[in-house]
Structure 1
Amino acid sequence: MKPEHIPHTDLRENINYVDNDVYAVQIVHSGGEDIDLKAIEIILNVNGEQLLPYNTSNFEVQNPDGTFRIKNSDGTFKVDNSEGPDYINNDFSLGDCIVIYTTEDTITVKGKEIDLKRWDDIDMFFIDKPSQQAIQRAVLQKGAGEFPEWITPYPYGSVYDNSSETDNWLPTELVDGIDDELFTNSSIKPDRWISENYTFGISEYDLGTSDSLTNVSLMIVYNSHDNSLKNMTLSIYNGSAWTMIAYNMEEKVREDDDPVIYYITDLVKNTTQLENLVVSFSAIGHASETSGKVDWVDFVGIHVEL
């Protein structure tokens, strides 16, 4: 049986606020294939709890010119002042915007009404119903919550590995814990630079202050041995300049060595620099083409004191 086609569509999300209330979620078609509106299901996950799905029965569709389509009782959409009084346009196309008004009795799966607030954690899943596949998953908003001792790229940052031949963007969970059997793998090639870049998705809102920071520390747990890498380098970018903080780093076998901690407060002095922080771990391959050797990073984290 031929599998269902999964649309390749680019989406852009936005949240509108009224005071501290989440008033509306907007999802804009920004490129790629058209999608039948009846094939769309949107799931919001709020503070770990999944809301009832949104579909043509409870979202609105705004045209690129700012007008809204008229919704028929059967879930189809009619375009006013178009080719005729009964002109149906059920396509979600470039420039169209799906609008979810979250102030209108949002119901959870437990049957209770909730009001979405500016400080809630909100994830969105944009589902193609025929294939039951998520076209896009996005973090719409993250609450302040309790600040962790170590901030890692998971879940709001990113991990980019230039050595991958398939997907350079790696799951952030790989560097979220020490000795959790999850880690990145960088393929080592002779005389080739390999690097991984990490961002952390930290915002001034998370910290609750825009003041200067008293301590910012960086921890990295990695493994490299057998002289398969040379010139191991750790650098950071603070929004204005790259700075190398370690060069010719020693080889590490995680099980035998303590984590490496670097104090970077002199380079990351305030929340603006922390918001823009990028950490880069790089080296030159020093193994044969057929060795199949890899190095890996188990953990990358930032410790912040206000």
Structure 2
Amino acid sequence: MPNVKKLMENRKAVSEVVGEVLLTSIAVLLVSSIGIFISTYDGATDVPHTQVREWMNTGSDTVYLEHSGGEFLEVENLEIVININGQRYVYPRARVYSNINNNSNWQLGDRITINTSREWGIDIESDDEIQVFLVDSPSKQIIQYLTVSSGEGAISGWITPSSARDTSGGTATPLDVYMEGDGISTSYHAPGSSDPSKFEEFSFGGTPALWGLFPGDNVTDVTLKIVYRVEANSCKDIKLKIYDGSPIGNWHEENIPVQTEFAEKSINLYPYINNTEDLAKIKVQLVAVENSAVSADKRLNVDYMAIYAN
């Protein structure tokens, strides 16, 4: 007759082994699933943080850009845009590669030499206004912008947005609003009724040091300058929304008038933005509603936007 006690002990041992195998298998499957999820997750675009030093030689019509710190820049995702006295030029990516020995990354100490005469037939003078934008192509956001001008008063204290986005189906980039009258502007498509999810939003760099202000400094004046128009009176109820940074962050609204030609409007932001913490987190949004009585495209265009603070 079988040994019942020994048989029960063996069955118990087998059960424990099978249980451990099942638990291990489940754990492996869970870890694998999490790994697959993480590896396939497409997170928000991370704009590189880089410092570039700039200078120019008017005698040779040359602008120099030298990587001086921060992350390496993938040339494939880099666009160099130069404004010379209001005219916009794009430096060919092939030239960038040739400047850095055909490496795929612009690294610390690498120097890019741009001869404006050879590239675009432009002779530069000491009082020319020259701005360089380093643009992250995938996100269309500015990595850094540089003022190369040596003329007096080239830096006015007016800071333009470092990032911009449009959720209305239109377009908005920092380059669209950097310079007034350059022929490029944003395009906001007004919805049929009030919809706070459809907006254009502009951010200003995240550091009061852009205005020469530091934590604890008194802020006495914050002014927004905006140049905009509504095509053929096709939008109404235009609102400017301002985000402060303290104590918990709030949105404030101001109505701005409809105007069918590009014109400048200055808005005092000091009632909302009155300390360095506010300046560090300031964002501006534009929203509007279509004018159904007009058959034209329901668009609002922003040609220029900047903030002055002291």
Q: TM tier, shorter chain? A: 0.5 to 0.7
- Within 5 Å, give how 1:95-110 maps onto structure 2: 100=107, 102-103=108-109, 106-109=110-113
- Within 5 Å, give how 1:86-97 maps onto structure 2: none
- CA contact 2:50–2:72 (8 Å) conserved in 1: yes
Q: Indicate yes or no: 2:308 matched with 1:303.
A: yes
1:184 counterpart residue number: 186
Q: CA deviation at 1:122?
A: 9.1
2:158 counterpart residue number: 150
Distance in 2 (CA, whole Å) between partners of 1:44 and 1:279 is 26
- Within 5 Å, give how 1:129-168 maps onto structure 2: 147-153=155-161, 156-158=162-164, 160-164=165-169
Q: 1:13 aligns with which of 26, 39, 48?
A: 48
1:209 counterpart residue number: 213
Letter in 2 for 1:208: G
Q: CA deviation at 1:280?
A: 1.0
Distance in 2 (CA, whole Å) between partners of 1:217 and 1:295 is 21
Letter in 2 for 1:274: L
Letter in 1 for 2:221: N
1:53 counterpart residue number: 100
- CA contact 1:238–1:274 (8 Å) conserved in 2: yes
Higher strand share: 1
User: 1:199-218: CA deviations, max 9, x gaps?
Assistant: 12252333333112221111
CA RMSD of aligned residues (A): 4.5
- CA contact 1:187–1:293 (8 Å) conserved in 2: yes
- Name the SS of the counterpart of 1:274 in structure 2: helix
- Within 5 Å, give how 1:1-306 maps onto structure 2: 13-14=48-49, 22=68, 25-26=71-72, 52-53=99-100, 55=102, 100=107, 102-103=108-109, 106-109=110-113, 147-153=155-161, 156-158=162-164, 160-164=165-169, 170-191=172-193, 193=195, 194-201=198-205, 203-210=207-214, 211-224=217-230, 228-240=234-246, 241-247=249-255, 249-254=256-261, 259-287=264-292, 291-304=296-309, 306=310
- CA 1:289/1:189 → structure 2, altered by over 3 Å: closer, same or farther? farther
- CA contact 1:199–1:278 (8 Å) conserved in 2: yes
- CA 1:188/1:179 → structure 2, altered by over 3 Å: closer, same or farther? same
Task: Give ranges in structure 2 of 5+ residues lacking alignment.
Answer: 1-41, 52-66, 84-90, 115-130, 149-153
- Name the SS of the counterpart of 2:199 in structure 1: strand
- CA contact 2:234–2:290 (8 Å) conserved in 1: yes
User: 1:90-131: CA deviations, max 9, x gaps?
Assistant: xxxxxxxx794x35xx45548xxxxxxxxxx997689xxxxx
| TM-score scaled by length of structure 2 | 0.52
| TM-score scaled by length of structure 1 | 0.53
User: 1:191-244: CA deviations, max 9, x gaps?
Assistant: 253421111225233333311222111122222376633322111002243333
Q: CA deviation at 1:144?
A: 8.8
User: 1:250-273: CA deviations, max 9, x gaps?
Assistant: 321336xx5221111232123332
2:38 counterpart residue number: none
- CA 1:272/1:190 → structure 2, altered by over 3 Å: closer, same or farther? same
1:117 counterpart residue number: none
Distance in 1 (CA, whole Å) between partners of 2:221 and 2:283 is 17
- Name the SS of the counterpart of 2:286 in structure 1: strand
- CA contact 2:160–2:305 (8 Å) conserved in 1: yes
Letter in 2 for 1:204: P
Distance in 1 (CA, whole Å) between partners of 2:112 and 2:106 is 18
Letter in 2 for 1:228: S
User: 1:21-63: CA deviations, max 9, x gaps?
Assistant: 94664469xxxxxxxxxxx779897x9996822555xx8xxxx
Higher helix share: 2
Sequence identity (%): 19
Number of residue pairs matched by the alignment: 216
- CA contact 2:222–2:273 (8 Å) conserved in 1: yes
Distance in 2 (CA, whole Å) between partners of 1:15 and 1:169 is 26
- CA contact 1:221–1:259 (8 Å) conserved in 2: yes
Task: Give ranges in structure 1 of 5+ residues lacking alignment.
Answer: 1-7, 29-39, 60-97, 111-120, 127-133
